[in-house]
Amino acid sequence: MTTQRNDPVPVNDFVDGVLKRNPVFVQLLGMCPVLAVSNTARNALAMGLATGFVLLMSNLVVSLLRRWVPTQVRIVTFILIIATFVTIVDYAIQAISLDLHKALGAFISLIVVNCLILGRAEAFASRQPPSRSILDALGMGTGFTIALLSLGAVRELLGSGSLFGVRVLGESFQEWTIMMLPPGGFFVLAAWLLAINAWNSRSFRPPTVKEAV
Amino acid sequence: MMDEPSLWAIFINASLVNNFVLAYFLGICPFLGVSSKRETAFRMGIAVTFVMLISSMAAYGIRALLMAAGAPYLQLISFIAVIASTVQLVEMFVKKFSPTLFRALGIFLPLITTNCAILGVALFQSNRQYSFIQSFVFALGAGVGFTLALVLMAGLREKLELSETPDLVKGATITLVLAGLLSVCFMGFAGLFG
């Protein structure tokens, strides 16, 4: 991040968060909600958007306050700022859809301890101007949402043969119930990581026999 | 969930049936990060259990206070503030009274603040409106379950290091598959209080 300080095009802040430094697939941050609420595509999308909103607002506020927060108490301050926005999101979701609120349960409140948000506040927003912090939050939020959605879509498709609650696989499809259950989360994330590893290693020159030995 | 679950049921439920790590995915970060040696995994588990018990009692008090004051929207903010200060207090306390234990826990104590399992205990017990004793047992069960999952995982990963794995799945991928298998095993407890 520090190497990009003089970068005239802060668009990189956005793209990096989505691809090169994707919080879930590359940095393995914020795993608890990723695995817990990605059992259907709808839950995954809602969780991704909620986390993205908290990330955006807390990054903005932390960045605005960065000159006034004493270093010794910065972590506590960040957590309190984050907790404020999480409370807002919690009540907003409750007002919009009670079903969704029930499905996500305590995991909305648990956005507070998502290492991703605190990590961005500490590593980026507390050192950068608001404009770049917003871009960073948007990038990371999008990357997080995409990751959650890709997990949720696979789990819902295999686990109940539907997508966003609409049946897409035929009646004869035998559901893999385990995909909806906790172990499915671990397996699908492992499969995605494997796929990404395989894709990345493709673009490199394959090691010669000598190197491999 | 039953209306008035017995203490034993709460304990078994929190530690085995709905294991915090393997069923609720709380505390995944230390689970994946710290669980490579059984020794450290066990210490981490003890530290987390300890903080869980204390913050659970504190959370019970806060909830009662906030309910009396009619300000439930402050719940989350006060929980997190209390957990952060509890961790700090526990750290100072342990340092003063048992330097041996302090050295043993080392870096793990401050890390616990961002462990979602701790906040999870506080939130779940308030959502389910447990009494004081029930909360205590719930926190104990959650801590035992967390320790169990961490130690089991560490044992598996110690074995894993000795076995040959393809380069493609090394690191996070194989660890996640292991965790998935462990989670399948824990699903076997589901019938205990069905």
Using 50, 70 and 90 to split pLDDT, how confident is the model at A200?
A: confident
Q: What are phi and psi of A5, to 5 degrees?
A: -55, -35
Average pLDDT, chain A: 80
Where do we find the tokens 């076995």?
Answer: B163
Instruction: Choose the weakest-confidence range: A7-21, A24-38, A118-132.
Output: A7-21
- Other beta carbons within 10 angstroms of residue A201's beta carbon come to 12
Instruction: Choose the weakest-confidence range: A21-30, A108-117, B98-107, B116-125.
Output: B98-107
The answer to whether residue A54 scores a pLDDT higher than 90 is: yes
Residue B1's pLDDT is 45
Cα(B88)–Cα(B141) distance, integer angstroms = 23
Say which of B114, B169, B187 has its CB closest to residue A181.
B187
Contact A108, A137 (CB under 8 A): no
Cβ <8 Å between B73 and A115: no
Using 50, 70 and 90 to split pLDDT, how confident is the model at B34?
A: low
- Please state, in angstroms and as integers, the Cα–Cα distance from residue A9 to each residue in A124, A127, A133, A140, B94, following that order: 16, 17, 14, 17, 49
Contacts of B81 in chain A (CB under 8 A): 76, 79-80, 83
Q: Could you read off the pLDDT of A89-101 as tens digits, one per residue? A: 998 998 988 888 8
Cα(A120)–Cα(A62) distance, integer angstroms = 10
What residues does each domain of chain B span? 8-193
Q: Could you read off the pLDDT of B46-55 as tens digits, one per residue? A: 888 888 888 8
For residue B125, the chain A residue with the least C-alpha distance is A106
Nearest-CA distance A169 → chain B (Å): 25
Interface of chain A against chain B, CB under 8 Å?
28, 31-33, 35-36, 75-76, 79-80, 83-84, 86-87, 90-91, 105-106, 109-110, 112-115, 118, 178, 181-187, 189-190, 193-194, 197-198, 201
The answer to whether residue B118 scores a pLDDT higher than 50 is: yes
Say which of A28, A118, A182 has its CB closest to residue B114.
A118
> Is the complex ipTM more than 0.85?
no
Residue A57's pLDDT is 92
Residue A102's pLDDT is 84
Contact B146, B56 (CB under 8 A): no
Where do we find the tokens 């696989």?
Answer: A169
Cα(A94)–Cα(B127) distance, integer angstroms = 14
Q: Could you read off the pLDDT of A63-72 as tens digits, one per residue? A: 898 888 887 7
Residue A100's pLDDT is 86
